[in-house]
Structure 1
């Protein structure tokens, strides 16, 4: 594939892969943590999923506009750094058993992640030839599809490796850096 001869695209592709893998590991580990730690309150697992999903409704009106008007590279880089810092604070919330704070942090991390995708797509346009853009976009989107299809088995395998929520969140955090 000619796409992989473009060093900038390769870096962006690998960063996208690592970020999605880290997010998947962190989200599933947190769900298992909730079920294990708060087994008498299974609604927490549902609330966690809502905290990942609701930001789409809250920020979708602003995301595209901001990605078009502001420096896309800064949006992408800063959103990853912000999510990494929020991951550290999430570790503290888990350590302190501050579940409300943990849910708020999940919401914020998810909201910040919504700014990354349009910025990344805009950056792709700047590093690719116009005829390669559809192929590059499709390849990046296929990574999302693969994680959606095979994510559960990868998540369970990850849990057998890390076996603790802290390790999973650290994996998630490093995927943003």
Structure 2
């Protein structure tokens, strides 16, 4: 896998920029969350920080996908981190003053710009490797997420001990470094791009719904592409319900000592699995441009089985670790396989919008799954029952998606797939 980084300098730059930014994000998240608790905000303030990190990303995904299909992706990958760096420096000032409300507002605004990075990175990646290398490239990206999660959280804990300001300043530096790395990429303008249909910011915003509808119609008429866009959804809804089970089980049973320690261990092991799964997929599908549906089915089934079995092995801590690892392996493999398929099948002029639909649907269904599980807890359902329901909902959704056939496109005149030039 490391050979791909050596042979593809553009992919190496893209990967390094994303890695640096991820580490900064995780360590700042720890620092800001710690500040919320230290200032007496309690759980509500902590939830506010979490919401500020995630909600703008999901809500702005459709606009972000539209932008990635209209403008040079290189300029986005350089410009957005610079804007984020500026807001992060302002966050450091707010943290130094102990202004928690101002800090949350700044996190909210900065997170809004983060939404524009996902489709831009997705659209750019396919230009940096050959088609048979897409699966391997996505495996590297997924494995890196797993490593940066552990490293960023650990480094964040160390820096947070010195106070939140140093961690936030390091995060700001990471954005400047990411922008510098991305500036070395060549121009990545969308192929077959068209002139914007309306001028000005409001004109672009008004153009988003029909453009998104056009991309969805293009996918609906092509079952393989439609599955690539929505195949994370079944695992996301099951994972959202399972996430509630993990937190409650750690709190109630504390299988590894204190509840916080137990939760940290379980989540770390699951994070390790998200890196090992893609690595295994990359080895199994080496040299294949299309790994085949059996691997996708296997990844989904492992995820559903893990969600269903997690609470069942509650009395046995070692089995809990094994199930958590398998859960991560299944989820990480699902992410890599579906992301590679999307990059392989989507027209370059539409991949930003299709990636944003993927991102929005995955985030939304995960939250819906977690909310459904919370309601079931309030209704006195057991964790075993919640896990079984989560697995069942995910499995039924997966079967429905797999059996889906082509439909008439929602919009005519969608551009065809053009091969992307490699750098």
Matches for 1:31-110 after TM superposition, within 5 Å: 31-36=33-38, 38-39=39-40, 41-110=42-111
5+ residue gaps, structure 1, are none
Matches for 1:1-177 after TM superposition, within 5 Å: 1=1, 2-5=3-6, 6-36=8-38, 38-39=39-40, 41-148=42-149, 152-160=153-161, 163-177=162-176
* Inter-partner Cα distance in structure 2 for 1:155 and 1:88: 17
* Inter-partner Cα distance in structure 2 for 1:59 and 1:134: 27
Report SS of the residue matched to 1:39. coil
Q: CA deviation at 1:85?
A: 0.3
Are the equivalent residues in 2 in contact too, given 1:121–1:137 (CA < 8 A)?
A: no
5+ residue gaps, structure 2, are 177-423
* Inter-partner Cα distance in structure 1 for 2:160 and 2:29: 11
- Rate the CA distance shift 1:41–1:14 in 2: closer, same or farther, 3 A: same
Q: CA deviation at 1:122?
A: 1.4
Are the equivalent residues in 2 in contact too, given 1:55–1:107 (CA < 8 A)?
A: yes
* Inter-partner Cα distance in structure 2 for 1:59 and 1:74: 19
- Rate the CA distance shift 1:40–1:18 in 2: closer, same or farther, 3 A: closer
Which is helix-richer, 1 or 2? 1
Report SS of the residue matched to 1:70. coil
* Inter-partner Cα distance in structure 2 for 1:150 and 1:174: 17
Q: CA deviation at 1:54?
A: 0.9
- Rate the CA distance shift 1:93–1:155 in 2: closer, same or farther, 3 A: closer
- Rate the CA distance shift 1:94–1:25 in 2: closer, same or farther, 3 A: same
Q: CA deviation at 1:81?
A: 0.3
Q: CA deviation at 1:23?
A: 0.5
* Inter-partner Cα distance in structure 2 for 1:98 and 1:40: 12
Q: CA deviation at 1:17?
A: 1.1
Q: CA deviation at 1:111?
A: 1.2
* Inter-partner Cα distance in structure 2 for 1:117 and 1:150: 21
Relative CO higher for 1 or 2, CA cutoff 8 Å, sep ≥ 6? 1
Are the equivalent residues in 2 in contact too, given 1:88–1:173 (CA < 8 A)?
A: yes
Q: CA RMSD in A?
A: 1.9
* Inter-partner Cα distance in structure 2 for 1:154 and 1:88: 19
Q: Please identify, of 83-92 and 137-146, the stretch whose mean Cα deviation from structure 2 is larger.
A: 137-146
- Rate the CA distance shift 1:57–1:17 in 2: closer, same or farther, 3 A: closer
Are the equivalent residues in 1 in contact too, given 2:159–2:166 (CA < 8 A)?
A: no
- Rate the CA distance shift 1:121–1:85 in 2: closer, same or farther, 3 A: same
* Inter-partner Cα distance in structure 1 for 2:84 and 2:112: 10
Q: Please identify, of 26-35 and 1-10, the stretch whose mean Cα deviation from structure 2 is larger.
A: 1-10
Report SS of the residue matched to 2:40. coil
